[in-house]
Amino acid sequence: MALLQIAEPGLAAAPHEHRLAAGIDLGTTNSLVATVRSGVAETLPDADGRHTLPSVVRYTAGGVEVGESARLAASGDPLNTIASAKRLIGRGVADVKSIGEELPYEFVSGDSAVPRIRTLAGDVTPVEVSAEILKVLGGRAQQTLGGELAGVVITVPAYFDDAQRQATKDAARLAGLHVYRLLNEPTAAAVAYGLDRGADGVHAIYDLGGGTFDVSILRLHNGVFEVMATGGDTALGGDDFDAAVAGWLLQQASLGIDADRGTLRHALDMARAAKEALTDATAVDVQLTLPQGGTWHGELTRERLAELIDPLVRKTITTCRRVIRDAGVSTDDIEDVVMVGGSTRGLRVRERVAELFGREPLVDIDPDRVVAIGAALQADVLAGNKPDDDMLLLDVNPLSLGIETMGGLTEKIIPRNTTIPVARAQEFTTFKDGQSAMAVHVVQGERELVADCRSLARFELHGIPPMVAGAARIRVTFAVDADGLLHVEAREQTSGVSASVEVKPSYGLTDDEITGMLQASIDHAGKDMDVRRLVEEKVEAQRVIEALSAALANDADELLDAAERARVDAALQRLVAVAESSQSAADVEAAIKQLERDCEFYVERRMNSGIRKAMAGHRVDEFSEENGSSAD
């Protein structure tokens, strides 16, 4: 008799078989891959002993170069060497314009919504560039571990939106990797520190990488990692520090911002080297090779570096204050601050963070490796290698998700900072009699009006049974998965007809939207609520106007004489005028109540008329007999 080999779902068939898994920190400047071996998470080096892989890809006529060799060739071949692709991934052509001028690439013009960069090997997208980096990291893990990877966990900034997360998964698919899940970078750092230290309490994760910034407030308790609040900027990081220093160097060398691409890349390289050297030194000598020949020599001091980068550091501190407020805690409640990302090596950054939180930040785990280590620990759990592990990761969605309702109002279904994965549902109804379809507009943001939020997707629900206004029950369900991707479904409850959409927008948030959406909601909170109340009253007025107009068309000649009809029409026109012109919610509300008083006699006649029609051909005692028999 043949025997079947049985294993628990997600676990290896052989009891002692260790499934190969890895965690990947796909960074803007550098990337790493880590795994758990003999119970210890560690980053994996390449053949030359280097743990970090520069996130740089060079396209040549002979093939593709990734990593250090590509980085070294960048200044001599800037058009074919793509760095900082993470800043472009998941963004549309319009969105990269704000940062495209700072990047020495040649973007292809065309109808595509996805930016394409012209190279010797053909036009490439940021997804394809990222896939090349992931191929190298996946290959390094497989070569080191001696087998195929069962899956990987890839980290992303907590503030990556749906498009950027989906683009990251697409890049992994192109690289031939199975993604267990995407993990927010601050949460990955919490995994590394929390498991190593067993530290319960409230912690802040300050993550400043090459191109992105995140800050998260997390509560760690009994192995549960809960993100209480998160915020950040997907277009702020060490690259911006380098650009500020490079601009100053070019100005000192009398070259200006109009330098050619090769000189600009050279200046960025020199700026990065000088910035890193000032971590240990108080001043460094800098020299630039001039395009017309010769060199320029100068000096960069710690004080000058602090002046150049302070405006950018202040932006991160402002975000920290907002996130602390969102979490409902004070700096005194935060036990420690974990520094993540290579840009946190800068002394000025550490000084400003220490000033804000009132304590020295933690830097004892290599800030470049901590995210990859956390991702590796999570990948080991998801691979089924630690079936008894009760570690639970609870990320949050950074911005509220909702739909547009009548009057252009936003109805939030999943508020910001809600723990994910999550599913929430809310019932809506029709506005007009006989309405058989409904347009669903999915939006993201904190403002009360749709015009002030970000549009994510639109779809339509058809086949709603014709009913009187307000009778239909349409249940709209929002489901956000562990990767932060959104699925929206609308279902009419009586007929079962449904429609849905998977939100994969072709563009990401612009820099201004990312930095301003939350602040704008705070700045305009009072005004937004006043506007919302006004719109709600105007929508109610419109409902009353349409209902009364329909009633008059149906039975006014039967129930009203000429004088009464004129009285009702006058009351109706007064409400129409107020609803169209008034900017006061109280005035519109008062006009609705006045109409109801003026038309009270008409409403009463309609009710009496309806009762008479219902009883026509019947005796009163018939209804009494029916009631009596039903009571027996």
Chain mean pLDDT for the chain: 80
Q: Which pLDDT value is given to residue 103?
A: 61
**Chain segment 443-489, per-residue pLDDT in tens:** 888 877 888 788 888 888 888 888 887 788 888 888 887 667 788 88
Q: Which pLDDT value is given to residue 508?
A: 46
HSE, side-chain direction, 13 A CA sphere, residue 440: 30
The helix (H) or strand (E) run that includes residue 429 is none
Q: Are 28 and 212 in contact (CB under 8 A)?
A: yes
Q: Which pLDDT value is given to residue 618?
A: 64
Query: Choosing from 162, 185, 240, 404, which is the catalytic residue?
Result: 185
Q: Of how many residues is the chain composed? A: 632
Question: Does the active-site annotation cover 25?
Answer: yes
Question: Does the active-site annotation cover 86?
Answer: yes
Q: Which pLDDT value is given to residue 517?
A: 52
Residue 416 has pLDDT above 80, yes or no: no
Give the CA angle between residues 163, 169, 170 to the nearest 5°. 85
* Reported confidence tier of residue 111, pLDDT bands at 50, 70, 90: low
- Amino acid identity of residue 597, one-letter, is R
**Chain segment 230-272, per-residue pLDDT in tens:** 888 877 888 889 889 988 888 887 776 556 777 788 888 888 8
**Chain segment 281-292, per-residue pLDDT in tens:** 889 898 887 777
Please state the three-class secondary structure of 427-487 as a single string: EECCCCCCCCEEEEEEEECCCCEHHHCEEEEEEEEECCCCCCCCCCCEEEEEEECCCCCEE
| pTM flag (> 0.75) | no
Residue 543 has pLDDT above 60, yes or no: yes
With tokens 């979490």, the residue in question is 327
Which has more pLDDT, 554 or 137?
137
Q: Which pLDDT value is given to residue 515?
A: 46
Question: Does the active-site annotation cover 207?
Answer: yes
Residue 208 has pLDDT above 60, yes or no: yes
Residue 546 has pLDDT above 70, yes or no: yes
Residue 427 has pLDDT above 70, yes or no: yes
* N-terminal to C-terminal alpha carbon distance within the chain: 67
* Helix axis angle, 600-615 to 525-559, nearest 10°: 50
Residue 356 has pLDDT above 90, yes or no: yes
User: What pairs with residue 220 in β-bridges?
Assistant: 201, 225
Q: Which pLDDT value is given to residue 11?
A: 39
Mean pLDDT of 6-10: 38
Residue 91 has pLDDT above 60, yes or no: yes
The two tokens of residue 26 are 């796909």
Say how far apart CA 154 and CA 34 lie, in whole Å.
11
Residue 498 has pLDDT above 90, yes or no: no
**Chain segment 557-599, per-residue pLDDT in tens:** 777 788 888 888 888 888 888 888 777 778 888 888 888 888 8
Q: Which pLDDT value is given to residue 185?
A: 83
* Reported confidence tier of residue 507, pLDDT bands at 50, 70, 90: very low
Three-state SS at 119: coil
Query: Choosing from 46, 77, 86, 169, which is the catalytic residue?
Result: 86
Which has more pLDDT, 337 or 512?
337
* Reported confidence tier of residue 601, pLDDT bands at 50, 70, 90: confident
Q: Which pLDDT value is given to residue 256?
A: 62
Mean pLDDT of 178-197: 78
Residue 535 has pLDDT above 60, yes or no: yes
Q: Which pLDDT value is given to residue 388?
A: 56
Three-state SS at 200: coil
User: Residue 335: exposed, middle, or buried by beta-carbon count in 10 A (0-12, 13-18, 19+)?
Assistant: middle
Mean pLDDT of 524-543: 74
Q: Which pLDDT value is given to residue 96?
A: 63
Cα dihedral sign, 143-179-227-167 = positive
Residue 215 has pLDDT above 80, yes or no: yes
Q: Are 453 and 443 in contact (CB under 8 A)?
A: yes
Domains of the chain, first to last: 21-237+309-395 (3.30.420.40), 397-520 (2.60.34.10), 526-615 (1.20.1270.10)
Mean pLDDT of 601-627: 67
Q: Which pLDDT value is given to residue 110?
A: 61
Which has more pLDDT, 249 or 606?
249
Say how far apart CA 535 and CA 439 lie, in whole Å.
19
* Reported confidence tier of residue 309, pLDDT bands at 50, 70, 90: very high
* Reported confidence tier of residue 223, pLDDT bands at 50, 70, 90: low
Of the candidates 485, 359, 476, which has an alpha carbon nearest to the alpha carbon of residue 428?
476
Residue 1 has pLDDT above 50, yes or no: no
Question: How many of the other CB atoms lie within 10 Å of CB of 598?
Answer: 16
Mean pLDDT of 492-508: 68
Choice among 54-68, 166-180, 402-416, 523-537 with the minimum mean pLDDT: 523-537
Residue 505 has pLDDT above 70, yes or no: no
Q: Which pLDDT value is given to residue 61?
A: 83
Residue 408 has pLDDT above 50, yes or no: yes
Query: Choosing from 46, 77, 170, 207, which is the catalytic residue?
Result: 207
